[in-house]
Amino acid sequence: MANTPEPAGAQRVVLGKIVSVHGVRGAVKVYSHTDPLDNVLDYAEWSLNRGTEQRTVSVLGGRVQGRVLVVNLKGVDDRNKAEELVNFEISIAADALPELEDGDFYWHQLEGLQVMNQEGQLFGKVDHLLETGSNDVMVVKPCEGSIDQRERLLPYLPGQFVVKVDLETKVILVDWDAEF
């Protein structure tokens, strides 16, 4: 485990968080933001961040246990060392993510984009997304220039409600009535 700072300007993507310890041999429980849960194990090295603390760890292996992962990290071989890592966020370099097919986007790419309907009305910016089971939902919060101060929950359904995602102009065009 190393306490190495990240290069300045490197874009990171948070993949999960260490939430507790598991047993006495140094395993940690990880809440994963990936789908499926164990995709976070595809990355051999994790950058851990908690406040101003940064560490780099190597992943030895892990398994799904209910809604979390039980993970073994190199150099973490007892409960005390594992407890030191609780509440650290797990991130990787954004450029380490696999490339997606055209028309597919990672959630972190959508966050911060302006959401506008086909009539040119600005609803706000995507604050974050929610997974609901049937479809993902964009949480759109008002910003400067928004038509009102309402927070909106819009289904992220390309071809149905999402007309176009333009990463260059940072706009998501939706087929959505401003009154709804």
Structure confidence by residue, pLDDT tens digits, 22-79? 999 999 999 999 989 999 999 999 999 999 999 999 999 999 999 999 999 999 999 9
pLDDT for res 3: 53
Residue pLDDT, tens place only, 65-109: 999 999 999 999 999 999 999 999 999 999 899 988 988 999 889
Model pLDDT, residue 120: 96
Cβ atoms of residues 34 and 25 within 8 Å: no
Q: Supply 11's token pair.
A: 């874009």
How do 45-50 and 122-131 pair as beta strands? unpaired
- For the full predicted model, state whether its pTM sits above 0.85: no
Q: How far apart are alpha carbons 42 and 59 in whole angstroms?
A: 9
- Residue 134: pLDDT band by 50, 70, 90 thresholds? confident
Q: How far apart are CA 9 and CA 53, in angstroms?
A: 17
pLDDT at 5 over 80: no
Q: Is residue 4 over pLDDT 80?
A: no
Residue 28 pLDDT: 98
**What is the identity of the amino acid at 33?**
H
- What's phi and psi for 82, nearest 5 deg? -65, -40
CB 172 within 8 A of CB 110: yes
The reported pLDDT for the residue numbered 9 is 56
How many residues are present in the chain? 180
Domains of the chain: 12-96 (2.40.30.60), 107-174 (2.30.30.240)
